[in-house]
Every structure is written in structure tokens, then in C-alpha cells.
Amino acid sequence: MSAHFSDDGLYRYIALRALDNAGGPNIGFLMHNPSIAGEQGDEDRTSRRVIGFGQRFGAAMVALLNPWAGIATKPRNLWEMDDPVGPENLAWIAHACKVIRDSGGFWIVAWGAVSPPRALRPAALAHLRGVEAMITASGCEMFALGLTAAGEPRHPLYVKADAPLIPWPVKIEKPTVFETYLKSFGELK
């Protein structure tokens, strides 16, 4: 695996892993926030799981990206950062969209529970939906490996290895728990 970190080491913008499926599509995985995993042999549980899904779906390469590039081994630590998104993150996501689209690939969204402090929730949801819109506008399809009870896409660690791909966004009758919470406080229209 190779990765691109910010010079100050606070952000990991992308982690890449070439697989043994020459000619296969590139698959992007959009999760919550990155860990410190980066170089070949430095895979953590999540990156090993993503590699397994990439092999299962015949990928030539998997790209691990996140709406929030701030490195945090625990998602709650992400929200303590001054800039959890990272100054280069959207540019890296846009570049990955082009590479994935041009290979005939697709994205697997898998951020699981998004639980910023209450004051940050409207901005976090708007950012997440903006990243989804960026991927859609690039012409890439998005899928999930399952849904949380709140209606968000499940993280790769919390699904079976044979989980089917579900088109994303899923058309559900009710808003997600995150959206319902924001509406209850008048923070989302």
C-alpha cells in the first residue's frame, strides 16, 4: 500500500493498494476518517478488509479515501481537530473520481456512524452530502455493503465478507437518525 500524507502528518488523503487483477476496475472506498496505515505491509484491520473486498470484486486497485482526512484512530478524536477535512482532501477525492471513472470502476461508501458534537453536525452532514454529490457528478456509481440501523452505509469491518453491493444512495422511507436528530433541533431544513 502506498499513501499520501500531509507534510505535517495530520492528514492522510489517500491510500492505494494495487491488486493482482490487471485490467480490472479501480474501486474507491469512502469511509469515515483515516488511520495511520499507509505503506506496504503497514495495513491495519480496515485496509486488510478493504483489500479483501477489492479482490472479491475483481479490482486492479483499491483507493481508500475519507470525507474527513484528519488522522484519528478513534472517530471522536477527529472532531477535536481545527480542520478535520484537510486542506487538500477534496482535490484528492476529485482526482480519485477521475481515475476510478476512467477505469470503469465504482465507489463503495462505508462511513458507518457519523457522530460529531452537536454544534458540528449540520456542517458535517453538509460536507458528507457534498462529497457524495462530487462523486455522483463525476459519473461514478456508488454502492454500500449494507446499512446501519440509522440508514448509513456500513463500515467494512462490520459486514460479512460476502456482503452484497447495494446501490447508494438507498431510497428509504424515512430520514437517517443523523438527519432526524438535526431536524429535531431545527439545524437541517
Q: pLDDT digits over 3-49, tens only?
A: 999 999 999 999 999 998 889 999 999 999 887 766 555 678 888 99
- pLDDT value at residue 76: 82
Q: What is the mean pLDDT of the chain?
A: 89
pLDDT tens for each residue of 72-91: 878 788 999 999 999 999 99
| Residue whose grid cell is 469515515 | 32
Contact 182, 125 (CB under 8 A): yes
pLDDT tens for each residue of 88-141: 999 999 999 999 999 999 999 999 988 899 999 999 999 999 999 999 999 999
> Residue 165, exposed/middle/buried by CB under 10 A (0-12, 13-18, 19+)?
middle
CA distances 106 to 8, 27, 60, 166, Å, are 31, 5, 12, 12
Q: Is the pLDDT of residue 1 over 70?
A: no
3 state SS of 119: helix
Q: Nearest 5°: CA angle at 113, between 25 and 44?
A: 55
Q: Where are the domains of the chain?
A: 2-184
- pLDDT value at residue 75: 77
- pLDDT value at residue 7: 95
pLDDT tens for each residue of 139-180: 999 999 999 998 999 999 999 999 999 999 976 555 666 666
- pLDDT value at residue 126: 94
